[in-house]
Structure 1
Amino acid sequence: MERSVDFGHVQVVIDYDTGGVRCLIPTEPAPSTAPKASWGSAEHPAGLLVPRDTWSSTAAAALSGVVAVKAAGRKESAMRRITDAIRAATSTTTHPATPEQAERAVLAVRRAAWCSPARTACLEESAAAVLLLALRRRSIIWCHGVAPDPVRLHAWVQTGDGAPAAEPASTLLYTPVLMIGDTHD
């Protein structure tokens, strides 16, 4: 399944079956000024500070589950396996998560990720937060989006009212391309 976002000066196409990303530039680009570079580490110093949240073995299990799903087959289909796992997890929920529950889940996963030997970035953390909340029958919306200038991808979770959970304000700069959970799937 391919999804795309057209920003005018670039169209970003994401293939959720393979995880591939293409940027299509129009033949006659509009004149623009160069944006300020963003490396994404100013607001969210992941990996630089040890989170002070309480340890959760359930969060560690959810993160391990995501890592196992990602590693279970061919690298080219890892994104599809992760989105399928998120869809399966959200199908078991009965009540929406509160903003506090969502934030606690994300922070618990980030704490567990600190000890993980596997790659843990926004994709793994957000998917694990969905699994963690689904174990408690709580629903959350998983989002995968793109921002332009420079083109960058991000995954996060948000509550039914659209508020991102435990995310910096810069997350609002991302245009959601795929949303799984609640009625957005």
Structure 2
Amino acid sequence: MKPTPHTVIALTTSARVIINYDTGTTELRRLDGPPVAGTVVHIPPSTPAWGTNEAPAVLPANGFAPIHWRLGAIPAILITAAARSCGPRARRFRRLVRLARYGSRRPPATLAQAEFAVRAVRRASTYFPARWACLEESVAATTLLALAGFRGEWRHGLASEPRTPARLAR
């Protein structure tokens, strides 16, 4: 992977994960490999989770969102879907990250406003006839907050397991 100004290297206890925010590509590399240019983030060790601690098997009930949030979710979802679908596929992740940061200069949303935005997007996206996963949902929620005049801080994480993957142990 060619390093860019938007490259982040996440160092876990057993491997390096290199994320290119321009293209959305990720690479898994050994710790003892050649250095890679980019911003380095150290990921603290974690206990074995195998995905069960991070995501419940069943999503909780959606909860209440006022009608103006639910109506606002419709254009937010359409804007997110357009950003996802229009343009080269290789730049899809970059477009979605840029859209998620659209409201970065607005005043921060309250916890209640952020919850209303997420609930409204979740409810409206159930009627959207396309693949709609956590990335699209979170970008649509921050877009809805921006349309309402607020800032939502978009973040993503990296789940690491304490065991060294077999293909890195070679």
Relative to the length of structure 1, the TM-score reads 0.67
Q: Which residue number corresponds to residue 139 of structure 1?
A: 151
Q: Pick the aligned partner of 1:89 from 72, 94, 103.
A: 103
| Conserved? CA contact 1:90–1:130, under 8 Å | no
CA contact (8 A) 1:13 1:21 kept: yes
Deviation at 1:52, TM superposition (A): 5.0
**TM-score for both structures, normalised by structure 2:** 0.72
Deviations 1:162-184 (A, max 9, x none): xxxxxxxxxxxxxxxxxxxxxxx
Which sections of structure 2, spanning at least 5 residues, go unmatched? 1-5, 34-46, 163-170
Please tell me whether Structure 1 or Structure 2 has the larger radius of gyration of its CA atoms: 2
Q: How many residues align?
A: 143
- Residues 40 and 127 of structure 1, relative CA distance in 2, 3 Å threshold: farther
1:52–1:111 Cα contact (<8 Å) kept:
no
Report the RMSD for the aligned CA atoms in angstroms.
Answer: 2.8
Q: Which has the higher contact order (CA 8 A, sep 6+)?
A: 2
Is the counterpart of residue 45 in structure 1 residue 58 in structure 2?
Answer: yes
Residues 5 and 69 of structure 1, relative CA distance in 2, 3 Å threshold: same
The gaps in structure 1 that reach 5 residues or longer are 29-33, 151-185
In the TM superposition, residue 8 of structure 1 has moved relative to its aligned partner by 2.2
* Aligned 8 A contact 2:101 2:153 in 1: no
| Residue of structure 2 equivalent to 1:179 | none
Match among 97, 117, 128 for residue 116 of structure 1 = 128
Say whether 1:10 aligns with 2:21.
no
Confirm whether residue 64 of structure 1 aligns to residue 75 of structure 2.
no
Q: Distance in 1 between matches of 2:141 and 2:81?
A: 13
- Superposed CA deviations along residues 46-85 of structure 1, whole A, max 9, x for unmatched, are 5xx7735456121122011111101011111001111222
Judge conservation of contact 2:14–2:31 (CA < 8 Å) in 1: yes
